[in-house]
Chain A
């Protein structure tokens, strides 16, 4: 059996059109050998959760620069759980103040990456913490 390929979705929830970072990250994930589903900007949490399930991804990476992460990130986790897909790891990044970290961890976000995180570190986290096709 060939090795399982890691599938990851990069999504931008909410009204935030700044996707340069998300695109660069998607490209880096591609170069790391992952299959990357990129859904573009202005996604509702409902669209993201439904797409993640249809695409059978191992990880959803949410990028938010607008400040709405306190609502949007937990909502994605909640919707996945509702649909019995809480085995999908959700991570997030963007402009996220440190005082929000704990609240997001408590809501089920497994890792948070803010400006200064290297591409390599993010891909490494994914590789070390996610089991393909679990």
Chain B
């Protein structure tokens, strides 16, 4: 019966079917097809989309070297002990000059390499500026549709502004380390605002207490937390003191689970998913409507002609854009 049915399945449906059954080669290739803009990748995604939305997605962001990968490694062990299946997407930067990349986050996670229930995939940013890669959203869907219980997303090493991860995950962990600037930093907008949980990593170092107080004071100034969730601050000590480290990771995982419960109990999960879906729809619209127009303009040399006009001050960017809009969108 199965065989008869499969005759009626398109190639994309078959691919999607294999991925749903957990086939790693098909899944990682689909992610690559999305990264490489291979035609057809989107149509496999269409078949997977109905099966997404089951995984819990956790995002980790923070400065380079803050210890994001090492924390993911420890959290994977923690959740594997509870028999959860795991997916992990690790993003590292692409060179703006050569397009090459060193994807090295995996080094910290290699003890899970052979575990069939842990699937780890590195992604290069390929020019995306928000801390993730353009393919990250779809890659999360792929791991989700594979049936992974928990999906970790590690951003590139971030500074202040890379907040894209909040649009793709249920819980954002901002990983900080002591000794990175004075207390005005804690007032600034951006990455500190997106945390659902603060982790002070390497908390055996000098300055941990000060950083804790700064974050704590920053949180005290918030009038009302969205959804009533005050982000907890969790100290995680040195990985070289294994017993204590494990204890801290256990506390961290309790904070993570606590946040998820909070989302579920207060009916906030729906809001997050709605926001994520809106972002995805926006992206899809942009790539479906804007991208082909841009491509056409480049191919026909229209872009260069417009740039020439602008350089000679014969026109301005706003008029040019309006002319294109009038031509294509009316």
Contacts and interface: CB of A to CB of B under 8 A. Distances in A.
Interface of A: 1-5, 7, 26-27, 29-40, 43-44, 46-47, 50-51, 53-56, 84-85, 133
Dominant SS at the A interface? mixed
A51 B32 contact: no
B328 to A, nearest CB: 22
Contacts of B110: 39-40, 43, 47, 51
A30 B93 CA distance: 11
* Max chain B Cβ within 10 angstroms of own Cβ: one of A34, A37, A39, A51: A37
A35 B100 contact: yes
Interface in B274-303: none
Contact of A53 (B25, B104, B122): B25
A54 B39 contact: no
Given A3-B36, A5-B124, 17 more contacts: A1-B38, A5-B35, A35-B94, A35-B100, A35-B101, A35-B103, A36-B101, A36-B103, A47-B110, A51-B120, A53-B25, A54-B24, A54-B119, A55-B103, A55-B122, A56-B32, A133-B32
Contact of B102 (A1, A5, A36, A50): A36
Interface string B106-137: 11001001100001111010100000000000
B210 interface: no
B28 interface: yes
A112 B323 CA distance: 58
Interface in B31-60: 31-33, 35-39
Contacts of B28: 53-56
Interface residue SS majority, chain B: mixed
Contacts of B114: 44, 46-47, 50
Interface of B: 24-25, 28-29, 31-33, 35-39, 94-95, 98-104, 106-107, 110, 113-114, 119-122, 124, 126
Given A84-B25, A133-B32, A5 B99 contact: yes
Nearest to B35: A5
A26 B101 CA distance: 9
A62 to B, nearest CB: 15
A133 B35 CA distance: 12
Contact of B36 (A5, A39, A40, A84): A5
